[in-house]
A = this chain, B = another copy of it.
Amino acid sequence: MDDEKNPVRFGILGCAEIARKVCRAIDLSPNSILHAISSRSTGKAKQFAIKNSLSELVKVYGSYEEVLDDSSVDAVYIPLPTSLHLKWAVLAAEKKKHVLLEKPTALDVGELDRILEACECNGVQFMDGSMWYHHPRTARMKELLSDPNLFGEVRMIYSSSSFVPPPEFFENNIRTKADLDGFGALGDAGWYCIGAILWAMNYKLPTTVTALPATTLNSNGVIMSTTVSIHWEQEGTVATFYCSFLAHETMDVSVLGSKGSFHVEDLIIPYEESSASFNFTSGASFVDLHLGWNMTEQEVRIHNELPQEALMVKEFSRLVKGIKDSRMGPDTRWGGISRTSQVVLDAVKASVDSGSKTVYI
Contacts and interface: CB of A to CB of B under 8 A. Distances in A.
Contact of A258 (B247, B265, B272): B247
A11 B261 CA distance: 39
Interface string A247-289: 1111010101111110101100111110000010111111001
B249 A257 contact: no
A256 B250 contact: yes
Nearest to A237: B214
Given A256-B162, A258-B247, A214 B231 contact: yes
Contacts of A231: 212-214
A87 interface: no
B291 A249 contact: no
Contacts of A282: 248
A248 B252 contact: no
A259 B269 contact: no
A260 B248 contact: yes
B216 A208 contact: no
Given A21-B289, A269-B290, A271-B296, A240 B248 contact: no
A160 interface: yes
A318 interface: no
A12 to B, nearest CB: 15
A121 to B, nearest CB: 34
Interface string A206-220: 001010111010000
Contacts of A273: 291-292
Contacts of A248: 152, 256-261, 281-284
Contacts of A156: 160, 162, 227, 242, 244, 247
Given A227-B229, A291-B307, 10 more contacts: A156-B244, A212-B238, A212-B240, A247-B258, A248-B260, A248-B283, A249-B285, A266-B296, A271-B293, A271-B295
Q: Across chains A and B, which 8 residue pairs bring their CB atoms closest together, nearest first?
A: A214-B238, A155-B247, A249-B284, A240-B240, A247-B256, A271-B296, A227-B238, A156-B242
